[in-house]
Homo-oligomer: A and B are copies of this chain.
Amino acid sequence: MALVGPVVCLAGGVGGSRLAHGLAQVLPPGQLTVVVNTADDFRHYGLQVCPDLDTVMYNLAGLADPQRGWGLRDDSGNMLEALQRLGGDGWFQLGDKDLATQVLRTHWLARGMRLTEVTARLAAALGVKQALLPMCDEPVATMVQTREEGELDFQTWFVRRRWRPAVRSLCLAGLGRARMTAEVSDALAGAALVLLAPSNPWLSILPILAVPGLREALRQASAPVAAVTPVIRGAALKGPAARLMADFGLAPGAGTVARLYGDILDAFVYDERDAVPPLTGLRLLGVDTVMVNEDARARLARDILDWIATWRTPHVPEREKP
């Protein structure tokens, strides 16, 4: 496989963690930085839970539950069962081993550590060799304006209500106080490639791109920016991406995702099962984007990196980057 240099992958939870894990299998550890959405983080029974960060971390550590895609392998639910017995809610599943992550993170944050530092410490303890960065250190929260039930916080809508209530709009609370970290800035400045993982655009990738300073840093970075579609033939493999397209009155296709990311994008990877998306000014690659197992993750990562290595001359998109 041809090496392209340092890769920065922007990722959400399950889908993002699969591509991140694929990249981790084919790149030297020092060549991969994963910047993870934290807009689905929330406080649950006083614990600071970061679902996407943990999903990526557990996948990179080789400890993720292979069936569910999130949480730790071989975990138990004794705390949760006891919590329910005591009158607590059980709608958000927290395994006993997983709870150690939440307890330590909450404890370290309360002692003044930045989320970036906490994440690095947890990841290192689990043997993760790649750089794992939250999108920012400040709390940012996706709030869901539903058509029938008013505003719901993200996990209530996503987990508790199983993304059933139709969505009018989404907003990111706390964004005004957030800013890009030095670690994310350095990673983007030094990147040879930035990959937007096949995560939900609205719930994972756009929140990362919304961190003040980050989209500008992407525009100024020399690295090309490529996105991988989370949508195949108008449907998402997992989660509410297609549902949100319908709620927002958008055409249910991969091209819609590319257009959401706008002028930062140089290239787009769509699934070979799908029609070529009607996108101009973007390099396009059609490959198998479905990561059914660990080998498929590595294969997709290799396909993308090999493709990018063939770009001998710099590509100038029709709409010039500023």
Contact = CB atoms under 8 A, between A and B. Distances in A.
Interface of A: 45-47, 72, 75-76, 78-83, 85-88, 95-101, 103-104, 106-107, 110, 121-122, 125-126
A46 B100 CA distance: 12
B103 A47 contact: yes
Contacts of A82: 72, 96-101
Nearest to A106: B46
A85 B103 contact: no
A45 B78 CA distance: 19
B107 A86 contact: no
A188 to B, nearest CB: 29
Nearest to A98: B82
Nearest to A97: B82
A64 to B, nearest CB: 14
A100 B44 CA distance: 13
A86 B45 contact: no
Contacts of A99: 79, 82, 96, 99
6 cross-chain pairs, A with B, having the tightest CB-CB distances, nearest first: A82-B100, A78-B96, A82-B97, A83-B100, A46-B107, A96-B96
Contacts of A75: 78
B79 A103 contact: yes
A83 B96 CA distance: 10
Given A87-B121, A125-B86, A45 B103 contact: yes
A78 B107 contact: no
Given A81-B100, A96-B96, 15 more contacts: A45-B103, A45-B104, A46-B107, A46-B110, A72-B82, A79-B96, A79-B99, A82-B99, A82-B100, A83-B103, A85-B126, A86-B104, A87-B121, A87-B125, A88-B104
B76 A78 contact: yes
A86 B106 contact: no
9 contacts: A45-B106, A46-B106, A79-B79, A79-B100, A79-B103, A82-B96, A83-B103, A85-B126, A88-B100
A86 B126 contact: yes
Contact of A100 (B72, B86, B110): B86
